Amino acid sequence: MQVTVKYFASLRELMGEDSSVIDVEDNTSVDDLWQSVTASKNVAFDNVMMAVNMEYVKSDHQLKSGDEVAFFPPVTGG
């Protein structure tokens, strides 16, 4: 199945792209996808924020064909 992946803020620069369409296996979680897309990029964010179809989700959220997944770097404020 295919999902669209979007990267925001500093992740866009680290990943070298702002979006892509990726083939994933059934029963893939958002975290599985994150681990897959960062495996070859040397990106070391453990607490990345994840959204599916514009709603924040937990890392174990199961993906469906056609989902739009967004990854955001950790945000700090003060």
Q: What is the pLDDT of residue 67?
A: 98
Residues 6+ apart with CB under 8 A from 12: 18
Q: What is the pLDDT of residue 39?
A: 87
The domain made up of 2-72 is a member of CATH 3.10.20.30: yes
- Helix ranges (H only) for 1-73 are 10-15, 30-38
Closest CA to 51 of 76, 27, 38, 34: 34
Query: pTM to 2 decimals?
Result: 0.90
Q: What is the pLDDT of residue 77?
A: 60
> What is the distance of C-alpha 32 from the center of its chain?
9
**pLDDT tens for the 78 residues of the chain, in order:** 999 999 999 899 989 999 999 999 999 999 999 999 998 787 777 789 999 999 999 999 999 999 999 999 877 665
